[in-house]
A and B are shown apart, each in its own frame.
Chain A
Amino acid sequence: MTSTSVSSAPVVTEDPSEAGHLPRGPRRRGVRSVVTSRGLLAVVLAAIPLGALLLAWHLLTEYQVVWWLRFDKIPGPAEVYSTLTTQLSSGPFYNDLLVSLRRILLGFSIAAVGGVAIGAMIGRSRLASALLRPLIEVFRPIPAIALVPLAILLFPDGEQGIVFITFFAAFFPVTVSTIHAMHALPPVWEDAARTLGAGRMSILRYVVLPGAMPGIFSGLSVAMGVAWICVISAEMISGQFGIGYYTWQSYGLLDYAGVVVGMVSIGLLGWSTAWLVERLGRRVNRWLPRAAS
């Protein structure tokens, strides 16, 4: 009830120190300890299946179990760990990681921007839909990996080809989810904006895009997963650097521990980018009622 609340603070005022963990909701004293213990619980719960997997892996390889599945030549966790530590102290490995990350972020960002733009056009304009929809439907079923030969011919060097393939893979989930999100918007938001005098552009920018963000972000999550699959595959086929290339090269050198190191790295990188997208999505869509739970 005071005029001090007039500050330009965005949407929901949160204690900044807790903003990371606590969705909007009641601000009580002692919330912090609840949050940290809940965070601890989450870590413990996440560790249980991962730990069990590690243990099973260790036992299966240690005792070289051969029971239809053959674990006798699979490297064990200890071996993989030692390979990992040697790799972590070497420059080329980091280079591979960074190259893959750069490719994925580049391809994914272009796909995100382009997919939302094209999706919004198709979702909002009947003409754009008539023009572009068939084009998209023709290209959509083509696996991005099938583009490798063409990408090699098209682009001056392999780097751009791989980024293009990543972009191609990520583009369609974003576009399609954007189109669906546009169509799922309650018409009353747009009606209200129009009676207040909003034009097409204003409605697009202030009503349609923010309202479609939940749907767009579910597309972005899917796109990030697909992008990883394709960047790794493309690196395996045509790359010169990158974690996919590293993995494939280790296989060529019969360095199976190296293959597993590559797989684990891909898993961790993929997880962190997915987390980033999720995190950003929650921030953008924190007005959603379910965001509070």
Chain B
Amino acid sequence: MSGETPSERSGWRSEERAEPSAERVRSRARPEEMSCGASVRLSGLKLAFGDTDAAEIDLDVRAGEVIVLLGPSGCGKSTILRALAGLLEPVAGLAQVGESVVAGSAQPPSSSGVLARKRSPKNVGRTQCAMVFQDDALLPWRTARRNVEYALKLRGVPRGRRQPEAEQLLRQVGLDGFGDHLPGALSGGMRQRVQLARTLAAQPRVLLMDEPFGALDAQTRSEMQRLLCSVWQQHKTTILFVTHDVDEALLLADRVVLLTPRPARVRRIVEIESPRRPGAQFEPDFARRRYEILASLGDVPGAAHEEVSAS
């Protein structure tokens, strides 16, 4: 259990929900709101940005797992998420969410038509993977609530139910009472909360987060990390989180995937024992792991050379 988040304090407004009892139960009031995570499999996924190779990834993610992709800036981490979201067509390989292919050829990669396929996978992968972007992805002419309502509309929620559901989601991310504010009138942290609420409104089976807290100050960032943990506790979606911040990776992840510089390849996978334990960052174990990861990324003087050349 992480620290108290605003969403946990607002249980008193749950009259309209089916089960008014404990606060924890609130999010499970409607079974269809429980969007269970899906497993993700990237097999031989090869991505390019223009003519340069951006990433070559093999990775298996368990359902409901929090995976942090950690690598130097510009190494092509984000392209992996973009491929999963259906925004970038892979050069080769497959990305699967659950049983369905969201990017790449529907046939096994060995067959011929890998390059020939057009952009149809977005029809398959829709809303399986929704993405939280770094900043300014909200529609600035819509209020916080109407931004969330748009995602609900896209999910097919009938008009009359959108507003209460949007407010419920905003409450969950601690934005009770800010529904009528335009994004321009909200702080960076609040805007990211709205984005999180909007993305949850799509009930994705996989939540893709592309350096979502990168533009925030340290305090807001750690608040948001705690919020994300508590949201994950409620929804148990699979999360693929991209960052270049080692501390953030260690605080959030079940497993940290270290990536090489461009093109991004899996360099190492670090398992975190008892992940997301509050106060973990003050323990010696944390510092040791942090050092290891930094060394492996080549950030620690002395340790750098053999690691880099070993890759």
Contact = CB atoms under 8 A, between A and B. Distances in A.
Contacts of A11: 141-143, 146, 180, 182
Given A188-B137, A189-B137, A206-B150, A197 B180 contact: no
A12 B183 CA distance: 11
Contact of A195 (B87, B140, B142): B87
A192 B208 CA distance: 11
A189 B139 contact: yes
Contacts, number: 89
Given A5-B177, A206-B150, A287-B182, A191 B133 contact: yes
Interface string B26-64: 000000000000000000000000000000000000000
Interface residue SS majority, chain A: helix
Nearest to A190: B87
A3 B176 CA distance: 10
A36 interface: no
Contact of B131 (A5, A195, A213, A289): A195
B176 A1 contact: yes
Interface in A53-101: none
Nearest to B181: A12
A6 B182 contact: no
Contacts of B131: 191-192, 195
A211 B201 CA distance: 22
Nearest to A207: B139
Interface residue range, chain A: 20 to 34
Contacts of B155: 196-197
B191 interface: no
B85 A194 contact: yes
Interface in B136-194: 136-143, 146, 150-151, 154-155, 163, 167, 176-177, 179-180, 182, 184
B198 A196 contact: yes
Contacts of B154: 193, 196-198, 202
Contacts of A5: 177, 179-180
A195 B136 CA distance: 15
A289 B184 contact: yes
Given A5-B180, A11-B182, A287 B151 contact: no
B208 A195 contact: yes
Contact of B180 (A12, A194, A206): A12
Nearest to A3: B13
A9 interface: yes
B139 A210 contact: yes
- Listed residue (A186, A188, A197) with the most chain B CB atoms within 10 angstroms of its CB: A197
B199 interface: yes
B218 to A, nearest CB: 24
A272 interface: no
Nearest to B164: A6
A197 B141 contact: no
Given A188-B133, A188-B137, A287-B141, A196 B202 contact: yes
B175 to A, nearest CB: 11
Contact of A191 (B137, B138, B142): B137
Contacts of A125: none
A211 B195 CA distance: 18
Nearest to B183: A287
A8 B167 CA distance: 13
A195 B141 contact: no
B122 interface: yes
Interface string A5-17: 1101101110000
Contacts of B86: 194-195
Contact of A197 (B87, B126, B136, B182): B126
Given A1-B177, A11-B182, A197-B155, A192 B137 contact: yes
Nearest to B122: A194
Interface string B2-29: 0000000000010000000000000000
Interface in A1-43: 1-3, 5-6, 8-9, 11-13, 24
A59 to B, nearest CB: 50
A67 to B, nearest CB: 55
A289 B139 CA distance: 13
Contacts of A207: 139
Contacts of A210: 139, 141
Nearest to A5: B180
B135 to A, nearest CB: 8
B133 A9 contact: no
Contacts of A9: 180
26 contacts: A3-B13, A5-B177, A5-B180, A6-B163, A11-B141, A12-B182, A13-B180, A24-B182, A186-B136, A191-B131, A192-B131, A192-B195, A194-B86, A194-B87, A194-B122, A195-B130, A195-B202, A196-B127, A196-B130, A196-B198, A197-B127, A197-B202, A198-B154, A206-B150, A210-B139, A287-B140
Q: Which 4 A-B pairs have the closest CB atoms?
A: A287-B141, A197-B127, A1-B177, A192-B137
Interface of A: 1-3, 5-6, 8-9, 11-13, 24, 186, 188-189, 191-198, 202, 206-207, 210-211, 213, 285, 287, 289
Interface of B: 13, 82, 85-87, 122, 126-127, 129-131, 133, 136-143, 146, 150-151, 154-155, 163, 167, 176-177, 179-180, 182, 184, 195, 198-199, 201-202, 208
